[in-house]
Amino acid sequence: MGDWRLLPLGIDLGSTRARVACSESNRDGAVRIRSIVARDVPDEAVSPSHVEHPELVAAVLEEMIAEIGTRERRCVLAVGAPASLLRTVRLPKMSWPERLRASRFEAQRFAGWDLDEEGSIVRAHPVDRGTGTFAIGVTRSHCIDSRVGAVRAAGLRAVAIDHDALAMRRVFPNCDAIIDVGAERSSVHLFGASGLLSFVAQSGGAAITRGIAAELSIDLPTAERRKRILGCAGAGLSASEEVVASISSLVDRARARTTVDRIVVTGNGARLPNFVRDLEEATGAIAEMPVPDLLHTGTYPDDVVRAAAPDWALAASLAVWSVAA
């Protein structure tokens, strides 16, 4: 095996947690994860569409980089629905300026916001030039700028920004849908013949935390610690059922477009005991929380990897973006 070289860091900025994955590759094409660090971010520092307080996030990132002990300063970030959307369309043969105008027109049809009033970035990536098939992506400019600004303040340089659903697809290729359960929202990503399609519910693990806090009359930090250690354990069950129901309704909507028989569940919110089982019962699909092969590197014990995989998967995939690309 040849000498190992560092790859750009994979950075997953969530609304309550940040994760940084450090990876390396060699001349033989082997890739391995060296280390992954996760930290809570200050309240309201990151929203689904914007880094509200870049200086606070930068301070957290600096601590994480110091713990990893890497000299690597390049990084890959991710954005996702609803701030960033993708659609696959067919375009007739045209010049590059014409394609750009056509792509912007198509993006305006599915974006859900006014592209001119809110500064937006539109890109068209060829999928099959023979059939004129392109993947058109659109995102708000401030979504990109705020993330890039946060890592720059931490002394890092963003070299790429991936779509979180496509990043997770790299590590979970064998399923009909990926459900990402975050703190304040849950996403259902479909991978059909027409390309990627995402549905978003404004409900996630934080709703369960609030349910536990309300039922036990405790503060939110205490409720969150209890949830991480004990799960619901007699409190927050109705809130958990509501989150499962909201995700199940998205799966029902998805089935109007494509078959959904096998689901991969990921995200920090998915680690709640029995959550995947309840989701399987509600959707009638096979639901599982697998450990990506990428995380089986011997760096961490198997039990640690199994427990952390839902939280680490996106950062790990971003850390090998340069190889996958």
As a whole number of Å, the CA-based R_g of the chain is: 20
Residue 71 reports pLDDT greater than 90: yes
Q: What is the pLDDT of residues 134-182, one digit of tens each?
A: 889 899 999 999 999 999 999 999 999 999 999 999 999 989 999 999 8
Q: Are 98 and 152 in contact (CB under 8 A)?
A: no
Could you report the per-residue pLDDT of 278-291, keeping only the tens digit for each?
A: 999 999 999 999 99
Q: Is the pLDDT of residue 226 over 70?
A: yes
Listed in sequence order, the residues at least 6 apart from 55 whose beta carbon sits closer than 8 Å to its beta carbon are 153
pLDDT given at position 193: 67
Give residue-wise pLDDT tens across range 180-219: 998 888 999 988 766 788 888 888 888 888 888 898 999 8
pLDDT band at 1 (very low <50, low <70, confident <90, very high): very low
b (16+ CB within 10 A) / e for 168-201: bbbbbeebbbbbbbbbbbbbbbbbeeebbbbbbb
- Nearest-angstrom CA–CA distance, 262 and 134: 27
Q: What is the mean pLDDT of the chain?
A: 89
Q: Which two tokens stand for residue 174?
A: 């064998």
Tokens standing for residue 55: 């200086």
The runs of H, that is alpha helices, within the chain are: 54-68, 96-111, 141-153, 164-171, 205-216, 220-230, 237-254, 275-283, 302-319, 321-324
Handedness of CA 292, 293, 294, 297 (dihedral sign): positive
Structural domains in the chain?
1-171+291-325 (3.30.420.40), 173-289 (3.30.420.40)
Rounded CA separation 18/83 (Å): 18
Q: Decide: 262 and 286 in contact? Cβ < 8 Å.
A: yes
Spatial separation of the C-alpha atoms in residues 1 and 30, rounded to whole Å? 8
- pLDDT band with cut points at 50, 70 and 90 for residue 82: confident
Pairing between strand 262-266 and 17-25?
unpaired
Q: How confident is residue 121, by pLDDT bands cut at 50, 70 and 90?
A: very high
49-70: pLDDT as tens digits: 789 999 999 999 999 999 999 9
CA quadruple 119, 15, 268, 25: dihedral positive or negative? positive
CB contact set of 183 (below 8 Å; sequence gap of 6+)? 14, 15, 16, 17, 204, 205, 206, 268, 269
Whole-number Å distance between alpha carbons of 299 and 287: 27
Pick from 146, 135, 92, 78: nearest CA to 110: 135
